[in-house]
Structure 1
Amino acid sequence: MIKRGRYGLLLVVAIILYVSFSSISDFDGLNEPPAEKNYADSIERDQLKQSRVVQATATSTSETSASATPTASYFTPEKNNGPDETDDAAVDENDTEGGYKYDETSPEMFNYVKDDVIAELRQMLPSLKKNKQAIIPKTIWQTLKSFDSEGYLGYINLWTKANPGYVHAVLTDDDAEEFLREHFGDESKSRLMEYFFKLPEPVMKADFFRYLSLLAEGGYYTDIDTSPIKPIDKWVPAKFKDSDIGMIVGIEADPDRPDWNDYYARRVQFCQWTIAAVPNHPILWDMAQRITKETIKRAETNKLDTRYGNVMEWTGPGVWTDAVMDYLDWNYGPFSWKNVTNLQEPMLVGDVLVLPITAFSPGVGHMNSKSFDHPSALVRHHFSGSWKATTHENKGH
């Protein structure tokens, strides 16, 4: 049960959204609410406003799509300590092509304790300094502006219905801010929170929240405009069930065309509308550092405005892809986008499970993305986030 600590309240009283479904086994992720129907009107909104966590109580589920099980593979390269700085060709080939921005300052094994920003965070979070949890917690994280938000409650329902036994934490923007203060300190004392509130766009705060919520407590983050095609318990192939998986990422885009940069930030780009991780994963520490330091730099140069750099490179899929690639390259490399382009089956790279594009981006119609009913399809993204009303560049986000 998630509690609000000194605030003395449950983040949410456990209330069931549609827990009165006649049978959880009827779940079909492809049976999604039609866009024209307002599902907010079909649920007791007053009840929802009193709740922030939904807990499913059903005890059984069934296959939700094709019965075939996708195959899987291990990535087993020779481990290295990062690219040899004297080998410019190797660095160019593995790290700078495809828009990838290699962080030459990254120490081996991502030991950021010497960095002042991360050192401060680690002092504030003694519980996160300890051993990393070996199992991804059964918590689903979602945020929305408020429970007056139209059109998303049907999707929320589907996540609850598909995943019995999972805690489903649905936080409003205000709840999310209080959650971060509880874990990372008040903005008057915490530089991370100080600069969290200086991010100029709501979408950037939403980006940062997903990394920080998983850093603090772990679990499965998924955008409010997504719906499940398969239950979470079926995301990991049987071959990897006994593996120590610290993070699950899916490929968002793999555009094999010369003008890929007109549409995406990276040649192969990891999606961040759905991410799973154990708490305290090094990639999440890295994201906390990257975003905080970039925001500090912009604040010091009076460039806290998206006109001076798009969201993709500040908090979005561009910098997210860089952080994942850095971790894989430093710890299990040489590793680059070339290792995952045209990926057709899940690949375990160290403790990171990389899913093919169809997993989280099915039905795209190109880039080898298969249909929604393909055995590899796990999540559907409806691309209806409220952030689209903003004027910044949103390519691939």
Structure 2
Amino acid sequence: MNWRAGKRPDSPPGSVRPAAESSKLRILPRRVKRFLPVYIVSAFVLLVFLNADLLSLVPPSIALDRQEVLPRKGLPGSTFPQKIWQIWRVDPLAFEQTEFETANTWLEQNPSMRYEVITDRSDVAFVEQHYGPGGFNRPDIVEFYHNVTIPIVKADLLRYMVLYAEGGIYADIDVEALKPFHRFIPDSHDEREYDVVVGIEVDEPRFRDHPILGQKSQSFCQWTIVSRPQHSVMMRLIENIMKWLKRIASQQKVPVSDVDLNFDEVITGTGPSAFTTALLEEMNKNERAPKVTWDMFHNMAESKVVNRVLVLTVEAFCAGQGHSDSGNHEARSALVKHHYHASNWPNRHPRYSHPVYGPVEVCNWDEDCVRQWDQDVADYEKLPDEEKKAWEEGRS
């Protein structure tokens, strides 16, 4: 039986192979034809292997179902959760220009990292998901958070809860990123040797005995914090805040939701002073080791690791303050810039202001200014009531 050129007897009807192609296949050695698929697969695997570096540059954010996005291999900081957290009243789609510009710097500096803003509408869902029965099963924490009504207390508490639950980088909404995250990690330390990264904010121990400034004179910064998840210092902060606010409520004979706080109470209860106290307690967990005090961080010229906490110099997170030898934002070691435009909470929780001489904080830690303020206040207290009243009326 004769077959037409290019048509095989075992081909299905309508399947025609060009004659030229058929003839080319017939001239290949039988052994080559047998191993041809193996050659093709091997070539494909070789191409993938040779281009592995290019494939690693594909933005990891497209993997939406991944729990954690890893940075490009080899960058410092890769062992920490690759996520940036911020807390604000509204989500990014409703940001005003000022918030958008500062928040966007974190994405520009860290394009491969995940980013999330916890808002006034999503905070409860986050707390219930992570601390409810399906999470850490801490109904006491969930109930406490529901009862807190003071915005700054909730904001401080929530940042610690976020970092405990998932870890990563937390930054206030008015903090600008000057450098990418991998620059936060100094070459002088192995990042596997620490679990929390903090910076110094106030380093003015000469005022530690001052009746007003003393409790604020030496503190770590909490407008930018880096942490691994489930770090004990974050849970220590959460539980310390719960005990503290319940104690204040008991003293004021009101429920937690109706507590009234002044500036210093916020600072020492949930803010930088509370943060510093918890960190020092964490550093001193090992009772056999030498006690860690602020003296270890005073005038610190370079970063150091103390009991698995990396402490950066004051210039890292708090440059340009005009005190504590904080330098300026143009310095190589300056990592963030705090713009303070969202820091209006002191208007709701006023600091102590003398009726004639105002708040001592206007001195901004200048020793001569503080000394003069102290002297003026002491002299004022010696005046008869009539003269005090005249001074107060003259000031107003």
**TM-score, with structure 2 as normaliser:** 0.62
Shift in Å, 1:334? 1.0
Answer whether contact 1:214 1:279 (CA < 8 A) is retained.
yes
In 2, the alpha carbon distance for the partners of 1:295 and 1:251 equals: 26
Shift in Å, 1:250? 0.6
Match of 2:318 in 1: 361
Match of 1:310 in 2: 265
The answer to whether residue 160 in structure 2 is matched with residue 211 in structure 1 is yes
The answer to whether residue 291 in structure 2 is matched with residue 341 in structure 1 is no
Higher relative contact order (CA closer than 8 Å, sequence separation 6+): 1
Mark the CA change 1:323 to 1:189 in structure 2 (over 3 Å): closer, same or farther: closer
Match of 1:138 in 2: 82
In 1, the alpha carbon distance for the partners of 2:210 and 2:184 equals: 29
Shift in Å, 1:266? 3.3
Structure 2: state its 5+ residue gaps.
1-67, 352-360, 365-396
Answer whether contact 1:310 1:393 (CA < 8 A) is retained.
no
Mark the CA change 1:393 to 1:270 in structure 2 (over 3 Å): closer, same or farther: farther
Mark the CA change 1:189 to 1:348 in structure 2 (over 3 Å): closer, same or farther: closer
Match of 2:57 in 1: none
Structure 1: state its 5+ residue gaps.
1-54, 63-133
Alignment of 1:136-215 (within 5 A): 136-147=80-91, 148-150=94-96, 151-185=98-132, 190-215=139-164
Answer whether contact 1:265 1:317 (CA < 8 A) is retained.
no
Shift in Å, 1:284? 0.8
Match of 1:272 in 2: 222
In 1, the alpha carbon distance for the partners of 2:230 and 2:70 equals: 28
Mark the CA change 1:215 to 1:206 in structure 2 (over 3 Å): closer, same or farther: same
The answer to whether residue 185 in structure 2 is matched with residue 236 in structure 1 is yes
Match of 1:378 in 2: 335
Shift in Å, 1:389? 6.2
Amino acid at match of 2:144: Y
Match of 1:325 in 2: 280
Structure with the higher fraction of residues in helix conformation: 2
CA RMSD of aligned residues (A): 3.1
Answer whether contact 2:79 2:191 (CA < 8 A) is retained.
no
In 2, the alpha carbon distance for the partners of 1:355 and 1:58 equals: 22
The answer to whether residue 224 in structure 2 is matched with residue 297 in structure 1 is no
Shift in Å, 1:371? 1.1
Alignment deviations for residues 83-142 of structure 1 (CA, whole Å, 9 cap, x no partner): xxxxxxxxxxxxxxxxxxxxxxxxxxxxxxxxxxxxxxxxxxxxxxxxxxx932011000
**TM-score, with structure 1 as normaliser:** 0.62
Amino acid at match of 1:265: Q
2:176 to 227, 235, 258: 227
In 2, the alpha carbon distance for the partners of 1:326 and 1:355 equals: 18
In 2, the alpha carbon distance for the partners of 1:212 and 1:314 equals: 16
Answer whether contact 1:136 1:277 (CA < 8 A) is retained.
yes
Answer whether contact 1:200 1:306 (CA < 8 A) is retained.
no
In 2, the alpha carbon distance for the partners of 1:203 and 1:237 equals: 32
Mark the CA change 1:217 to 1:56 in structure 2 (over 3 Å): closer, same or farther: closer
In 2, the alpha carbon distance for the partners of 1:276 and 1:172 equals: 20
Percent of counterpart pairs with the same letter? Answer: 30
Q: Which moved more, 1:359-368 or 1:385-394?
A: 385-394
Mark the CA change 1:314 to 1:59 in structure 2 (over 3 Å): closer, same or farther: same
